[in-house]
Amino acid sequence: MMKKKLLAFVMAFVMVFAMAACGGGKDEGGEDSSAPAEKISVNVFAAASLSAVMGELEADYEAANENIDIVINADSSGALLTQIQEGAPCDIFFSAAQKQMDELEGIALVVEGTRQNVVNNQLVVVTQPDSDTAVTGLADIANAKSIALADGSVPVGKYTRQAMIKLGLLGKAEDPAAITTAEVSEQLGGVEISEQGNVSKVLAAIEEGSCEVGTTYLSDTVGHEDKVKILETVGYDVTGNIIYPVAQIVNKDADDVENAAAADFLAFITNDEAKALYQKYGFDTDVE
């Protein structure tokens, strides 16, 4: 049923542009009345850790679809969730965790049948290339002089806390994301922690040397090999899977043409060619 709905959207999209193409010509005075059609904007809310790969996907798609303008809003999945809940116009949401997508699905903002898991990621502990840190990985991260750590509302912050619980560094909690940064610092013996709003800010804190070590995603280190060194790639047995779901979002401000364009872009970023690009950026596309 969902495939039929998507097909209907795409057909509507094609018909509108076919009519627009045929509507050009000359007016009664013999002047050319044709004009460039206004571009259709597709608003994509994507986790900050997807910024690089989404930028390339955006460029590839727009090169083949000159009438479409893909507008990417990149931030932590928690911040993006809040924006959507508060009414920000969003056509596609690409989250770094299931929790945020579950919340949107719970309030009927996910277009039925469009949600799918796309990639898996891995948590890494990083430092500067010439660092003399005593830290070797997550298990002894308390030995750091300072740590860059995302807050619990950010998926990478939640997965870090979850892994720390698994390793016995933090006490058990019903919701790891609810453990505050101050509580993490206290349980790690009072180590200085600089709380960050997303993975990109964690990476920046390490690159500029304001923090000795930090936790981010493997994908975020791609292209930054000269600025950060990976101390440990934390296994899935410690973090659990770090699955990124994507879905089309109910946008009350969108018309059928914009909905069709959104459906088409969603298909584009989940096809086999896109999967190869995700792998280039350090993501694992072997997801269930």
DSSP alpha helices (H): ranges in 86-217?
A: 98-106, 155-166, 181-187, 199-207
CA dihedral 190, 236, 217, 42 (to 10 degrees): -130
| pTM of the entire predicted model | 0.81
Per-residue pLDDT, 11: 46
- Determine the Cα–Cα distance for residues 199 and 220; give it in Å rounded to an integer: 8
User: In the predicted model, what is the mean pLDDT of residues 3-26?
Assistant: 45
Sequence-distant (≥ 6) Cβ neighbours of residue 133 within 8 angstroms: 127, 143, 144, 212, 213, 231
* Structure token pair of residue 219: 């994908």
Q: 32 pLDDT exceeds 80?
A: no
Q: 273 pLDDT exceeds 70?
A: yes
Per-residue pLDDT, 114: 98
Q: Which numeric CATH code is attached to 123-234? A: 3.40.190.10
Query: pLDDT by residue (tens digit) across 226-257?
Result: 999 999 999 999 999 999 999 999 999 999 99
Cβ(13)–Cβ(43) below 8 Å: no
Q: Lowest mean pLDDT of 21-35, 78-92, 141-155, 273-287, name the range.
A: 21-35
Boundaries of every domain in the chain: 2-14+40-120+243-280, 123-234
Per-residue pLDDT, 35: 52
Cβ(285)–Cβ(118) below 8 Å: yes
Nearest by Cα to 68 from 32, 98, 86, 92: 92
DSSP H or E run through 45: strand 40-47
User: In the predicted model, what is the mean pLDDT of residues 160-188?
Assistant: 97
- CATH topology identical between 2-14+40-120+243-280 and 123-234: yes
Q: 13 pLDDT exceeds 90?
A: no
Q: Percent of the chain, pLDDT > 90?
A: 86
Half-sphere CA count of 174, side-chain side, radius 13 A: 0
Per-residue pLDDT, 38: 85
User: In the predicted model, what is the mean pLDDT of residues 120-140?
Assistant: 97
SS3 8: helix
What average pLDDT does the structure give for the chain?
90
DSSP H or E run through 194: strand 192-196
Fold of 2-14+40-120+243-280: D-Maltodextrin-Binding Protein; domain 2 (3.40.190)
Query: pLDDT by residue (tens digit) across 59-76?
Result: 999 999 999 999 999 999
**Exposed/middle/buried for residue 200 (C-beta within 10 Å: 0-12, 13-18, 19+):** buried
